[in-house]
Amino acid sequence: MDQEFDYVVVGGGTAGCAVAARLSEDPDVTVCLVEAGPSDVGDDAILDLSRWMELLESGYDWDYPIEPQESGNSWMRHARAKVLGGCSSHNSAIAFWAPRENLDAWAAQGCDGWTADECYPFYKKLETALDGAEQADAPGRGTDGPVTIRTVGDQDPCGEALLEACEEVGLPTTPFNTGRTVIRGANWFQVNANPDGTRSSASTAYIHPNLDRPNLSVWTGYRAEKLTFDTSGEKPRATGVRLRTPDQRRSVDITATRETILSAGAIDGPKLLMLSGIGPAEHLREVGIDVLVDSPGVGENLQDHPEGLVQWEALQEMPVVSTQWWQIGIFAGSEGRETPDLMYHYGSVPFDMNIVRYGYPTADNTFCLTPNVTGAQSKGTVRLSSRDFHDKPKVDPRYFSHEHDREVMIRGIRVAREIAASPALKEWVGRELAPGESAQTDEELFDYIRNTHNTVYHPSCTVKMGPDSDPLAPVDPQLRVRGVDGLRVADGSIMPDLITVNPCITTMMIGERCADFIRREA
């Protein structure tokens, strides 16, 4: 069963699909894409975007608990997709290019080659934008990429009233993805979805059309146990990956003669590196793993977008059909900022998964605003719980351990209430179900947040790239893992800092860039 390929991509997720598809465009190389979850081909539970919330805590979800939180919701779960396409097959498909300021900040930290001017052509390469006239200062939208981007256009009278209410409080309707960074404004989201309501995920865009390529092999159901290395030379060289077969009965090794690319995400990526002996030496020894490379930054720097909830009963009937139920974005950044520090998603369905435990009322006909801290300063870790690859890692986001995040979230609840009190929403806003009118002081609001907050499911930055001078940067700006040869990382874990918008399309861009680095060097 053991096989040999030129390139092995470990993780068939948002970035991994892009890497594998682009590398296999060269007919003279062989590529194997390995995914632990099942295929999504023909699976309406995955492909129908309107059903995305059914996937949370389902069989398609690794469903990671988090470590007890001193300042956050210890009951919270981190959804990580267990299916071809990764989180692009599992999320609400909100599509943003990263703000120019975010990417330029990466480059300023020593990530040469990652300015906005250098990254934006790769966004353009991956997308086909179906709507939206190009602005004069826009970076240029793609026209023939594999990923379809379009603006949500559902009939939602409550959403239309919400945009009017935002105007009334100084948050004007503003186009997204034009090249301008929106600090304060609102609009319907752009999504990576087809006009028929199906996902334009990394798997449907990059892999499905290319399944008949003779040089591309897609292995689903194979779970990675560890990366393999040849240690006979001066520096260890990655040789591929050891996999557990779908029936769980045996292990097989597949060999990468040129390079192995790890695209397992910000939780499973550092886990697999550590299981393979690359990580903080002291921690590896604690769990009984031989140290191959002492890389203290592996599993550090975990960043996320924490999310709160303000939910109301609706006085009129909410929509019963939707593209993906979370269709409007609102930016309410503090004045004087270059990027927004506060963002909302508008939900036209009940979102009570974290509030019923504490007795907050719910209803069938509701809408909500979910403030999230876009530039959270709290940083956490991913650590192994044991040397057994079956065991879930220890995920400790350390939510709200930084005062900045608390202040932004409290302001987020107050601004949400201000929007709801605007005349345009008078015919829609009923009783505030959560946090409820009795919560008014900063202390009362943060007590509610600490107990009930969620996440926008954007864990990132745990294998960050950086210059040679940064001892906590496990990968260099070409995404090569330091201390070994033949191994790169390409997924959201390589971000030095989490961007201030939904990162799915940026993660695809990272996959595009990784493939480009490899092909240029080859």
**C-beta neighbour count of 386 within 10 angstroms:** 14
Pull the structure tokens for residue 58: 């389902």
Instruction: Report which secondary-structure segment, H or E, holds 122.
Output: helix 116-126
Cα–Cα distance list, 289 to 263, 267, 293, 386, 460 (Å): 22, 18, 11, 9, 24
Pull the structure tokens for residue 228: 């393999």
Instruction: Report which secondary-structure segment, H or E, holds 346.
Output: strand 342-347
Supply φ then ψ for residue 198, to 5 degrees: -90, 160
453 catalytic residue (yes or no): no
Residue with tokens 């040089």: 215
Instruction: Report which secondary-structure segment, H or E, holds 278.
Output: strand 278-279
**DSSP state, residue 49:** G
Q: List b or e across 147-162, with b for residues whose CB sees 16 or more CB atoms inside 10 angstroms.
A: bbbbbbeeebebbebb
The alpha helices in 238-367, defined as continuous H runs, are: 265-275, 281-286
Q: What is the largest CA-CA distance in the chain?
A: 73
Cα distance between residue 256 and residue 268, in whole Å: 20
Query: Are the C-beta atoms of 355 and 448 separated by less than 8 Å?
Result: no
Query: Are the C-beta atoms of 499 and 3 separated by less than 8 Å?
Result: no
Pull the structure tokens for residue 48: 């129908």
Let me know how long the chain is.
Answer: 522
Three-class secondary structure of residue 430 per DSSP: strand
Cα distance between residue 344 and residue 156, in whole Å: 17
- Kindly report the CA angle at 15 between 179 and 392, in degrees rounded to 5? 125
Query: Are the C-beta atoms of 53 and 326 separated by less than 8 Å?
Result: no
Half-sphere exposure of 153 (CA within 13 A, CB side): 11
Three-class secondary structure of residue 186 per DSSP: strand
Query: Are the C-beta atoms of 218 and 33 separated by less than 8 Å?
Result: yes
Give the active site residues.
458
